[in-house]
Amino acid sequence: MTSADSDTGLLAPGWAGSPAAAETADAAFLRALLDAETALTRAQAALGLAPDGAVAAVTEAAGPGRFDLASLAERARTGGNPVIPLVADLTRAVGEPYGPYVHRGATSQDIMDTAMMLVAHRALAPVLSDLARCERALARLAAEHRDTPMPGRTLTQHAVPTTFGLKAAGWRSLVLDARDRVTAVRGSLPAQLGGAAGTLAAFTAYGAEDATGLPAAYARELGLREPPLPWHTLRTPIADLAGCLALTAGALGKLAVDVLTLSRTEIAEVAEGSGGGSSAMPHKANPVRSTLIAAAARRAPQLAATLYGALAAGDERPAGAWHAEWEPLRDLLRLVGGAARDAAELTEGLRVHPDAMRAHLKLTHGLIVSERLSAELAPVLGRARARELLTRLARRAYEEGRDLGELLAAEPESKDLDVAAASDPSRYTGSAGVLTDRSLERR
């Protein structure tokens, strides 16, 4: 088995083959680690702390294909992180006279944290692209179905009518919330450079009169933000990533679980554009995209919790807290990257069945508009009498299989009420259309 074979996502169909999979693979991390090392040499050269020849030598030697991933992973066990063996290999590849400028003044955590930020920055780009696709598809659905009535459901039961347009607008609002948070966090990802204990002392030992300018130069080389302080034990960037990724997974999860409910055989108000098959039942068209998104939404909070737990990082480098971040963060990036891809495909292909929605409005024999009937009757009969009448008629509607409006029309007390209009579910969607319009103004 080759090193490339060891990370294929066989048990992770949610992210396998996604852009996030490529941007978070071992090879992508190796590239980010090497990018962090070469940027450090460039930054020092820009400040006169390294010769230009060192930049050329380190850049040439830092081709990812020159390094053995499996060997790096195995040797990482000795020092507890992959930077230590990588620096040894890179220094050897650079050779004399410029080998001593590799990793000069830095510590392993500087390179590892910076590489994490590079990987996150790169992995979040396709996430934002897929969220944009999802948003556009949902905006189209909301506009097309602005006035398509359907049952609103609370605690699994029919409540009052709503519209599919408002439901789609709500999904879109969550997607935009996620987009805004991912955009903000991605733009704030910082480089990390502090040296052994966050004091930049080694850089002054190597000739820098004022080493505080080096983190800014380093960040510029990488396209990352300059941090106000070395953040080796100030893990706000990791916590911010955890939060925005968990929220994004949950936002997409809300869309997915709604689609899973509405696409049940007994409901069939929506359907995925291309359902998945079954190994045993040829008739099945399973809502696979929604299933994978829902799975990601269930895993993300626990991964984020691990990252939040790592905030309690002791001393100037913690034993265990820092190390506990790497895998959960990668898993979160993968889960959210895969979920965003699946959400884009799901929403772009979602089939809506308005006829089924309208038919289901009649399932409760008119009881879905009992709130409106109560409001209409209360000024005439008083609240207590209106409630008593409707409770009795509701019981009859269930027992006799008759429509509540029909029974109410036969009651002398309703003679001044336009029962037909008041009992029409499609005419009791409140401000759903206006709310949908308002939501679509958000860009």
CA–CA distance from 441 to each of 143, 434, 435 (Å)? 11, 11, 10
Q: How far, in whole angstroms, is CA 263 from its chain's centroid?
A: 23
- The one catalytic residue in 278, 383, 392, 431 is 278
Tell me if residue 278 is catalytic. Answer: yes
Dihedral (CA of 203, 209, 215, 217) sign: negative
CA 396, CA 130: separation in Å to the nearest integer? Answer: 51
Tell me if residue 75 is catalytic. Answer: no
CA–CA distance from 121 to each of 3, 23, 89, 114, 118 (Å)? 24, 9, 26, 10, 5
Nearest alpha-carbon partner for 219 in 187, 241, 248: 187
Task: Answer whether 423's CB lies under 8 Å from 366's CB.
Answer: yes
Task: Answer whether 353's CB lies under 8 Å from 377's CB.
Answer: no
- The one catalytic residue in 136, 298, 317, 402 is 317
CA 80, CA 101: separation in Å to the nearest integer? Answer: 23
Indicate the burial class of 312 (C-beta count within 10 angstroms; 0-12, 13-18, 19 or more): exposed
Write out the E strands in 135-253: 149-154, 157-163
CA 326, CA 238: separation in Å to the nearest integer? Answer: 10
Which of the residues are catalytic? Answer: 278, 317
